[in-house]
Amino acid sequence: MKRTLLTTIAFILCVSTLRADEGMWIPALLQRNEAEMQAMGMKITADDIYSINHSSMKDAVVLFGGGCTGEIVSDQGLLLTNHHCGFDWIQKHSTIEHDYLTEGFWAMTMEEELPCPGLTAKMLRNMEDVTDKVLAGITDQTTDDERAQIIAENIKNIKESAQKDSQYKVTVESFYIGNQYFLMYNEIFDDVRMVGAPPSNIGKFGGDTDNWVWPRHTGDFSIFRIYKDGKPYKPDYHFTISLKGVEEGDFTFVFGYPARTNEYLPAVAVNQEANVIYPVVVDLRTQILNIYNKYQEKDPVVRLQYASKHAGLGNGWKKWMGVIEGIRNFKGIEKKQAFEEAYINWCQETRARMKYMHALRDLAPVYEEYEKYRMATTYLTEAGLSIELLEYAANFAKLAEVTKDTPQEEIDELIGELKEATTVFFKDYYQPIDEEVAITMLTAYSAAQPEDFRPEILNEIDRKFKGDVESYVDYLFGKTVLTSEEKVMAMLDNFKPSKAKKLAKDPAVVAVNSMMDFYVENVLAKSRECNEKINNLRRVYMEGQMKMIPEVYPEKRLYPDANFTLRVTYGKVGGFKPKDAVTYGYFTTLDGIMQKENPDIYDYVVTERLHELYDAKDYGRYADKDGSMHVAFIAGNHTTGGNSGSPILNANGELLGLNFDRTWEGTMSDLIYDPSICKNISVDIRYVLFLIDKYAGCTRLIDEMTIAE
Ligand code: ARG
Ligand code: ASP
């Protein structure tokens, strides 16, 4: 059957407006969602979730460290977050004798809770709309440059006067790409201690293989405690824990700190992201990860050394593959294009809307111009600096510029830093991997970047080594001193300004300097310029969309992109159909862990202790009413990076679990949300409590929680 273009567009638009679960809502404005939330099953009020007049749930949700969420679950400041969010701290506290990553860690008394200097928890105390104050003095005639200046000045004044009267830390945050501003009052806690973590074969069960994937069986939690003035913190609110579990269709909401989404990009930008940039990154990372895998499989020491590096590269790699596929399968670009056609039609109805039309149209050429610079940056970071030797060598650039006039203190400080960096670097460095990575990455870099627009070092490989990357890499690793910890330390111990010149000639320093110089001289300023233009145009395009969407698509969801501020999102529990003839159930159980078990594959090892509990079916009050131990479940909450560790709550606002991931098929939700495939994954709180109680015997923690049976 042949469809006309118009009916196709009408069809696409109609589909894209069915977005029941979409949206990350500003808690201070949640009244607007209350009726819908209650209609979906919520039994509490928006005021119970966020209030500045009395204690509310917002007083129990924190930004954990730089990029995760945590929630308070006792009147003594006990905090839950994900294992992968606490990972660095678990690792930092581990020693040869006490490997907490492998063994797990349980503080059996409060005295055993481990301080984590540098770790903070940030709690939102109040937020108020200051849009009018921030935009005061701006008219239709204000140029973009003037606008930026006026806003900076206004924000400075708003912050200064707010800070004078507040015990909290104030910031001003932009929403809707500069169309709305909020003044935020945050309380910062800087004494957060580590209380417990399961062994990695529970907290990271399935590892990178299962990462982003449903069905999932990861016990992804760790436990911390907030202290204030040296004592356990007494919060204004803490979550009650529900042991009732979830059923298909149940209302849930997630309260946390989503980092970044881009739901209002023009089609050209989504296309650039999904069809130009991501494929390059995925391809480069595939090559690197293949090399890592090869050596990691051969040697358990290397497996450990590269575990964290592998997870870091692998997380984005896998997610972006999902995004590329999701956008293709769900016709993301076509939907955006259809929307833009309707938008242009709307703009053309009145003269006053012309500026909104121009904003959209002007974005295309800027993105086109930007592509070259984005690509150059992508190859620098993903290919050039993926060579560990070069990334490490970048640290030495400053020392290589030292002269006899450089103050000795400065040199000493630099040397101190470099010694530290050197110890860290060699702890997890395996040169054969790096040499192979260097060969593949330099080959790819050189092939992809035009001769007249790339770092000089690539042209030099062509000239001096006749394009033979392997022999260049031999020379690079053969001649540099930076592959030997001993030599580097000796060089740093005996450093004199007269030796700087020699260091500057080290081939690794030469190579990375060439890449960085090229970037600074030819890419950085242009990228900034494009970015500024894009931001200004996107602000106007956003303003247009904010006017057009309620008029033309009153049922479409309009909410600000994630910006590292506290948000509420809600949706129902339920499985989905990821592809033809495949259906996913909405929960997993301990049975699935036993099915996945494989003692020979690191990611799927099951401990003796878990076996014992499983064989005895010793689940106590944490068993589901079906008798099994539920491990994880999925629901239609619109989440993103940063939402890890967020509480997922039921209709009464009781804790059901911890959000920790999304399903692979729906990772495109950062760009385009589709409720049929975009699902969040949470670990069931009953599995968490079962592990704390039955597995670890850390019952003192259970005793301080408030539990609704
Ligand atoms: N995909 C999740 C997120 O983006 C979890 C990552 C950590 N887990 C892992 N196996 N690497 O953060
Ligand atoms: N795993 C992510 C996080 O660490 C959550 C997500 O991207 O869905 O925040």
Q: Taking a C-beta distance cutoff of 8 angstroms, is the pair 696, 628 a contact?
A: no
Residue 255 phi, psi (nearest 5):
-125, 110
- Residues in contact with ligand 1 by the CB-under-6-Å rule are 84, 204, 207-208, 211-212, 311, 315, 641, 644, 661
Tokens read off for 178: 């500069």
pLDDT tops 90 at residue 9: no
Q: Which ligand is nearest to the CA of 658?
A: 2
Asked whether residue 58 carries a pLDDT value surpassing 80, the answer given is yes
The binding-site residues of ligand 2, defined as CB within 6 angstroms of any ligand atom, are 639-644, 660-662
User: pLDDT digits over 598-610, tens only?
Assistant: 999 889 999 999 9
pLDDT of 2? 41
CA–centroid distance, 643 to ligand 2, in Å, is: 6
H-assigned helices in 480-588? 485-493, 500-504, 507-518, 525-552
Summarize pLDDT for 614-646 with one digit per residue, the tens.
Answer: 999 999 999 999 999 999 999 999 999 999 999
pLDDT at residue 220 in the model: 98
Share of the chain above pLDDT 70, in %: 97
Summarize pLDDT for 369-390 with one digit per residue, the tens.
Answer: 999 999 999 999 999 999 999 9
The reply to whether 644 belongs to the active site is yes
Note the Cα 109 to chain centre separation in Å: 33
Mean pLDDT of all residues in 319-328: 97
- Distance (Å) from CA 661 to ligand 2 centroid: 5
Q: Is the pLDDT of residue 440 over 50?
A: yes
Over residues 477-528, the pLDDT tens digits come to 999 999 999 999 999 999 999 999 999 999 999 999 999 999 999 999 999 9
Q: Best mutation site among 260, 660, 679 for ligand 2, i.e. most ligand atoms within 8 A of its Cβ?
A: 660
CA distance 1 to 11: 15
Report which residue type is found at 19: R
Name the closest ligand to CA 212.
1
The pLDDT score that the predictor gives to residue 201 is: 96
Rounded Cα gap, residues 699 and 709, in angstroms: 17
Question: 434 alpha carbon to ligand 1 midpoint, in Å?
Answer: 24
Q: Which residue from 561, 415, 504 is spatially nearest to 22, judged by alpha carbons?
A: 561
Mean pLDDT on 352-366: 98
Read off the pTM: 0.93
Atom number, ligand 2, closest to the C-alpha of residue 681: 8
Q: From CA 298, how far away is CA 46, in angstroms rounded?
A: 55
Angle formed at CA 481 by CA 478 and CA 482, multiple of 5 degrees: 105
Q: Are 150 and 137 in contact (CB under 8 A)?
A: yes
Q: Is 220 a catalytic residue?
A: yes
Taking the centre of ligand 1 as the mean of its atom positions, its distance from the CA of residue 234, in whole angstroms, is: 31
Catalytic residue from among 16, 51, 74, 84: 84
Residue 63: nearest ligand to its CA? 2
Q: Are 529 and 338 in contact (CB under 8 A)?
A: no
| Six token digits for residue 44 | 């509490």
Closest atom, ligand 1, to C-alpha of 210: 10
Ligand 1 atom at minimal distance to the Cα of residue 318: 1
Rounded CA gap, 126 and 173, in Å?
Answer: 13
Instruction: List helix spans (H) across 274-353.
Output: 278-298, 300-305, 307-329, 332-347
Catalytic one of 48, 208, 220, 434:
220
Can you tell me the distance from the alpha carbon of 521 to that of 518, in angstroms, rounded to the nearest whole number? 5
pLDDT at 304 over 90: no
Atom of ligand 1 nearest to the CA of 212: 1
CA end-to-end span of the chain, whole Å?
A: 56
Q: Is 638 a catalytic residue?
A: no
